């Protein structure tokens, strides 16, 4: 199988990730932080080391809390549902948001009566129109701005530095979703004004399922969303104080954390990005030659990563995906990709979404040749 669905989850992972997980499973999969014996302390050390790796990758200070959750979806629920928001507060999101943000902020809208507004896009380029955004911010002041770093539909890298800088003029809380960026493109908390950086272990970080979370760079206080046992302060019916423990209930998944730790050790962001950009350029050149191709691309190659959406005249996205799978053993993703809003701009409803290629570090030129040959053969 030629796997071109790395935007759903990167696959395979580096060999070191598999080995670290099997080893942790066999030797360390006890309940960290719940016991005071040697293995429990070893597990706790692995957890704190992994948190430090995450601080390092975003250049955060040691004071930044790193909260582990079983997935970025759960982390974003904790963050977005946990924000201190009141009726009428304006929360801006980009039209590129994934349902991990979109459905969650919609739930908060129903519960608290907040107002959701969109960062405006240029209708031609589908890039964020920063001038119009600043105008909108001045008109309806943001209480919070939540933004995906890289679109999981078109690979577009949003100008989050400029977006959050403008948001901070109104002291808005800023939340960044790095599911498709961390490990691949720079996320520098010293330069991007994000209060909270959420992350997924299993995508561009090349770690496993079962681990995600958020880095609370500036120590935003969040209301309780998910509660439970913490192995500490057990007689307290509220979650314990502490910028991490308060949000970390349930036994930690030490096996997944061991995998993420190995992945973080292995990652070489500049190499990954260079390789992915070369492959992406090659892919796009190949696709552009096809008759009846419709590509959904940002304006320049510096503005996107190796996620490329397209459609081919005469085919629905889903049908094309099925043909690629059944006749050519090529795995792509089709449909709306859990992104509810951007399709209005892409105008892809007649194809029921797009065909999406998600490149990863284990893809090569031959994978792309095979894809292009398949599409030419149709």
CB of 103 to its own copies, least distance (A): 4
Question: Six-digit token pair at 74?
Answer: 């759960």
Q: Whose Cβ is closer to its own copies: residue 284's or residue 332's?
A: 332
Helix H or strand E encompassing 93? strand 90-93
Q: Whose Cβ is closer to its own copies: residue 62's or residue 237's?
A: 237
Which residue, 34, 50, 80, 47, is CA-closest to 226? Answer: 80
Q: What is the spatial distance between Cα 295 and Cα 303, in angstroms, rounded to a whole number?
A: 15
Which residue, 45, 343, 360, 42, is CA-closest to 204? Answer: 360
CB 306 within 8 A of CB 154: no
CB of 19 to its own copies, least distance (A): 9
Q: What is the spatial distance between Cα 260 and Cα 205, in angstroms, rounded to a whole number?
A: 8
Q: Whose Cβ is closer to its own copies: residue 55's or residue 356's?
A: 356
CB 181 within 8 A of CB 149: yes
Q: Whose Cβ is closer to its own copies: residue 192's or residue 359's?
A: 359
| Cα of 120 vs its chain's centroid, Å | 21
- Neighbouring C-beta atoms of residue 205, cutoff 10 Å: 29
Q: Whose Cβ is closer to its own copies: residue 142's or residue 321's?
A: 321
Q: What is the spatial distance between Cα 319 and Cα 350, in angstroms, rounded to a whole number?
A: 13
Q: Whose Cβ is closer to its own copies: residue 180's or residue 189's?
A: 180
Question: Six-digit token pair at 110?
Answer: 């129903």
CB of 354 to its own copies, least distance (A): 12
Q: What is the number of residues in the chain?
A: 378
Strand blocks (E) in 119-253: 142-148, 173-177, 196-200, 212-216
CB of 274 to its own copies, least distance (A): 25
Q: What is the spatial distance between Cα 370 and Cα 265, in angstroms, rounded to a whole number?
A: 32
CB of 212 to its own copies, least distance (A): 8
- Neighbouring C-beta atoms of residue 376, cutoff 10 Å: 11
- Neighbouring C-beta atoms of residue 111, cutoff 10 Å: 10
Q: What is the spatial distance between Cα 308 and Cα 372, in angstroms, rounded to a whole number?
A: 13
CB of 282 to its own copies, least distance (A): 22
CB of 41 to its own copies, least distance (A): 9
CB of 251 to its own copies, least distance (A): 6
DSSP class of residue 245 equals G
Q: Whose Cβ is closer to its own copies: residue 100's or residue 166's?
A: 100
Q: Whose Cβ is closer to its own copies: residue 55's or residue 266's?
A: 266
Q: Whose Cβ is closer to its own copies: residue 64's or residue 83's?
A: 83
Helix H or strand E encompassing 27? helix 15-27
Q: Whose Cβ is closer to its own copies: residue 193's or residue 348's?
A: 348
CB 13 within 8 A of CB 259: yes
CB of 113 to its own copies, least distance (A): 16
CB of 318 to its own copies, least distance (A): 7
Which residue, 107, 98, 157, is CA-closest to 343? Answer: 98
């Amino acid at each position: 199988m030629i796997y071109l669905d790395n935007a759903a989850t990167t696959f395979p992972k580096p060999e070191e990730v598999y080995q670290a997980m099997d080893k942790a499973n066999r030797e360390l999969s006890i309940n960290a932080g719940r016991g005071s014996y040697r293995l429990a302390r070893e597990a706790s050390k692995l957890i704190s080391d992994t948190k430090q790796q995450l601080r390092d990758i975003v250049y955060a200070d040691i004071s930044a809390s790193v909260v582990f959750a079983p997935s970025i979806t759960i982390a974003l629920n904790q963050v977005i549902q946990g924000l201190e928001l009141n009726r009428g507060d304006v929360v801006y999101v980009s039209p590129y948001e994934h349902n991990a943000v979109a459905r969650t902020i919609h739930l908060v809208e129903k519960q608290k009566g907040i107002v959701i507004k969109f960062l405006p896009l240029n209708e031609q380029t589908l890039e964020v129109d920063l001038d119009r955004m600043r105008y909108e911010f001045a008109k309806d002041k943001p209480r919070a701005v939540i933004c995906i770093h890289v679109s999981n539909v078109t690979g577009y890298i949003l100008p989050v530095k400029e977006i959050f800088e403008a948001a901070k003029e109104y002291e808005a809380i800023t939340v960044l979703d790095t599911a498709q960026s961390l490990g691949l493109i720079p996320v520098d908390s010293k330069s991007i004004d994000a209060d909270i950086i959420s992350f997924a272990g299993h995508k561009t970080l090349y770690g496993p399922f079962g681990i995600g979370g958020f880095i609370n760079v500036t120590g935003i206080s969040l209301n309780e969303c998910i509660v439970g046992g913490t192995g500490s302060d057990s007689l307290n019916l509220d979650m314990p104080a502490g910028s991490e423990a308060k949000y970390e209930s349930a036994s930690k998944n030490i096996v997944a954390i061991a995998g993420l730790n190995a992945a973080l050790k292995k990652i070489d962001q500049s190499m990954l990005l260079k390789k992915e950009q070369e492959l992406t350029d090659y892919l796009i050149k190949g696709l552009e030659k096809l008759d009846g191709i419709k590509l959904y691309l940002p304006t320049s190659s510096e503005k996107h990563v190796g996620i490329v959406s397209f459609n081919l005249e005469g085919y629905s996205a889903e049908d094309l995906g099925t043909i690629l799978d059944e006749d050519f053993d090529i795995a792509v993703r089709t449909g709306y990709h859990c992104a509810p809003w951007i399709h209005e701009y892409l105008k892809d409803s007649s194809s029921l979404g797009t065909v999406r290629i998600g490149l990863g570090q284990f893809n090569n030129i031959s994978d792309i040749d095979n894809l292009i040959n398949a599409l030419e053969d149709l």
